[in-house]
């Protein structure tokens, strides 16, 4: 009896890699789905390996539809790339069997054995190369060329073995201009439509309670791009002065304004004029008078605010985007009163990452991995700025879908996708941390 089988679904509406990850995650949660080796937005298909007796086609279609897409089983004759290739090989296996009078099954079994041994040799070479600090692309070129030379394909080897020079890094000013442009364009396009990435929409619902969501205006929700909910652990009190580093369209500003009340003061700073414009729109939608919330188009590395001015600085997945985190935290320390507090949600790597991979992320300043550093190094920056009593409230390791969505934040229209192989290397090492700290 057949234990497993392969199935190909045709999927409508899976237009971006972000959507691809949403579909893939939904399918992998279904009991009986073993793998989803191919999920391609350009071709609009998902190829799935399933336990034949555990799950039905109808169940898979329903799961995809619940994720927000239309699906149907791909009709007979519409082969996926892998299946089409294997069918061609089967024809050649049959020809060999007839030509040399060898059982076709024996030919296929030996072919699979050679394929397996070749993969093991290649894996050993890659393990050695990566263990000696090679970037994954250079390791692949090195290993593939060795194998090709081994069986005399010199020209092929020469074409493959080309080591790229180090990526050209942007200046701090170029990074800031790029970030402002990306988020400004996102604000202009999606203030009314809302974020097209289903994973990002889902994150907002998970980060904020139903009560909090009921207080938030549509514009603020549509443009929400954070990785946490700093107001939820900032312990804000009536009458306090709160500064939001990178306020965006105001999702956390609005919640902070409710916490500190009319006697309090909340000020949002953002590098992007379009986001500040949308933040003012959010205020109006929330029914706040114009003076209730203040805003500034400003660089968090150099603020036009007085010393010892604020009670609390909050920030939600923004300091990750700035190239000079040291300057940002020095500014936070400067503007806080003695005893003032930080409540920060941000992204870090859980450990040191291959420098060549981080270099490639930085070369395009890719979403939340472009400016990411190891958690230990990040918290040392906070401590060196003068803060004490640093306490990590929560850590969340990104799922594959979340990692892709946030590595292309604010969206694949605005940010080039990092190399999938680089993302695979850092999978399970990208963490959303929520922490507090005190200015002595």
pLDDT in tens, 356-383: 889 889 988 988 899 999 999 999 999 9
- Rounded to whole angstroms, the Cα distance separating 365 from 175 reads 7
- According to the model, what pLDDT value does residue 196 have? 82
Average pLDDT over residues 286-312: 93
* Residue-range domain boundaries for the chain: 4-73, 101-160, 172-438
pLDDT in tens, 129-158: 766 767 667 778 888 899 999 988 888 888
What pTM was computed for the model? 0.70
Average pLDDT over residues 169-174: 87
Average pLDDT over residues 16-27: 75
- φ/ψ of 346, rounded to 5, equals -155, 175
- According to the model, what pLDDT value does residue 115 have? 83
- According to the model, what pLDDT value does residue 1 have? 43
- According to the model, what pLDDT value does residue 160 have? 86
Residue 68 above 90 pLDDT?
no
**CA dist 360 → 17, 37, 87, 336, 419 (Å):** 19, 25, 38, 36, 9
Average pLDDT over residues 94-106: 92
- Rounded to whole angstroms, the Cα distance separating 300 from 317 reads 13
Do the domains 172-438 and 4-73 match in fold? no
One-character DSSP codes across 375-418? HHHHHHHHHHTT-EEEEEEEEEEPPHHHHHHHHTTT-TTTSPPP
Burial classification of residue 64, based on how many CB atoms lie within 10 Å of its CB (0-12 exposed, 13-18 middle, 19 or more buried): buried
- According to the model, what pLDDT value does residue 18 have? 65
Average pLDDT over residues 190-218: 90
Lowest mean pLDDT among 70-84, 211-225, 242-256, 424-438: 70-84
- Residue 337 — very low, low, confident or very high, per pLDDT cuts 50/70/90? very high
Asked whether the beta carbons of 427 and 403 are under 8 A apart, the reply is yes
- Residue 213 — very low, low, confident or very high, per pLDDT cuts 50/70/90? very high
Residue 95 above 70 pLDDT?
yes
Average pLDDT over residues 95-117: 91
Average pLDDT over residues 220-232: 95
For the beta sheet containing 430-438, the strands, ordered from the edge strand earlier in sequence to the opposite edge, are: 293-297, 265-270, 241-245, 310-316, 336-349, 430-438, 388-397
- According to the model, what pLDDT value does residue 36 have? 83
| DSSP-based three-state secondary structure for 165 | coil
Topology classification of domain 172-438: Rossmann fold (3.40.50)
- Rounded to whole angstroms, the Cα distance separating 2 from 145 reads 39
- Residue 2 — very low, low, confident or very high, per pLDDT cuts 50/70/90? low
For residue 122, give both structure tokens.
């290649």
163 vs 360: which has the higher pLDDT = 360
For residue 341, give both structure tokens.
């507090």
- For the domain spanning 4-73, the CATH number is 3.30.70.100
Return mean pLDDT, the chain: 88
**CA dist 119 → 39, 113, 320 (Å):** 23, 10, 38
Average pLDDT over residues 70-75: 80
Residue 75 above 80 pLDDT?
no
C-beta atoms surrounding 403 within 10 Å? 24
- Residue 263 — very low, low, confident or very high, per pLDDT cuts 50/70/90? very high
Question: CA Rg, the chain, in Å?
Answer: 26
- Rounded to whole angstroms, the Cα distance separating 373 from 332 reads 19
31 vs 271: which has the higher pLDDT = 271
């Amino acid at each position: 009896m057949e234990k497993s089988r392969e199935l190909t679904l045709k999927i409508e509406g899976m237009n971006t890699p972000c959507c691809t990850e949403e579909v893939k995650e939904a399918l992998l949660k279904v009991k009986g789905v073993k793998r989803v080796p191919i999920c391609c937005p350009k071709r609009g298909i998902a190829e799935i390996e399933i336990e034949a007796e555990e799950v039905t086609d109808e169940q898979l279609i329903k799961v995809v539809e619940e994720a927000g897409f239309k699906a149907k089983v791909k009709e007979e004759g519409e082969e996926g790339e892998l299946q089409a290739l294997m069918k061609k090989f089967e024809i050649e296996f049959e020809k060999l069997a007839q030509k040399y009078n060898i059982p076709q099954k024996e030919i296929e079994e030996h072919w699979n054995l050679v394929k397996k041994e070749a993969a093991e040799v290649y894996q050993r070479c890659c393990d050695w190369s990566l263990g000696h600090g090679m970037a994954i692309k250079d390791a692949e070129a090195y290993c593939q060329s060795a194998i090709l030379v081994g069986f005399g394909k010199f020209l092929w080897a020469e074409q493959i073995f080309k080591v790229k020079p180090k990526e050209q890094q942007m200046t701090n000013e170029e990074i800031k201009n790029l970030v402002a442009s990306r988020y400004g364009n996102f604000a202009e396009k999606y203030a009314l439509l809302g974020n097209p990435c289903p994973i990002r929409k889902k994150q907002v619902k998970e980060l904020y309670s139903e009560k909090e969501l009921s207080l938030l205006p549509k514009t603020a929700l549509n443009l929400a791009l954070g990785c946490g909910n700093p107001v939820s652990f900032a312990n804000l009190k009536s009458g306090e002065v709160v500064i939001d580093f990178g306020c965006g369209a105001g999702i956390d500003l609005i919640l902070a304004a409710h916490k500190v009340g009319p006697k309090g003061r909340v000020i949002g700073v953002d590098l992007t004029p379009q986001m500040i414009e949308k933040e003012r729109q959010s205020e109006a939608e929330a029914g706040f008078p114009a003076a209730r919330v203040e805003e500034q188009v400003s660089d968090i590395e150099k603020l036009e605010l007085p010393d010892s001015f604020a009670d609390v600085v909050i920030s939600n997945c923004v300091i990750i985007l700035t190239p000079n985190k040291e300057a940002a935290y020095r500014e936070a320390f400067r503007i806080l009163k003695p005893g003032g507090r930080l409540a920060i949600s941000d992204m870090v790597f859980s450990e040191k990452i291959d420098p060549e991979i981080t270099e490639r992320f930085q070369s395009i300043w890719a979403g939340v991995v472009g400016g990411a550093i190891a958690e230990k190094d990040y918290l040392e920056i906070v401590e060196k700025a003068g803060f004490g009593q640093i306490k990590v409230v929560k850590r969340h390791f990104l799922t594959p879908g979340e990692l892709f969505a946030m590595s292309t934040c604010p969206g694949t229209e605005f940010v080039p996708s990092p190399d999938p192989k680089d993302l695979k290397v850092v999978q399970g090492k990208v963490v959303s941390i929520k922490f507090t700290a005190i200015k002595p």
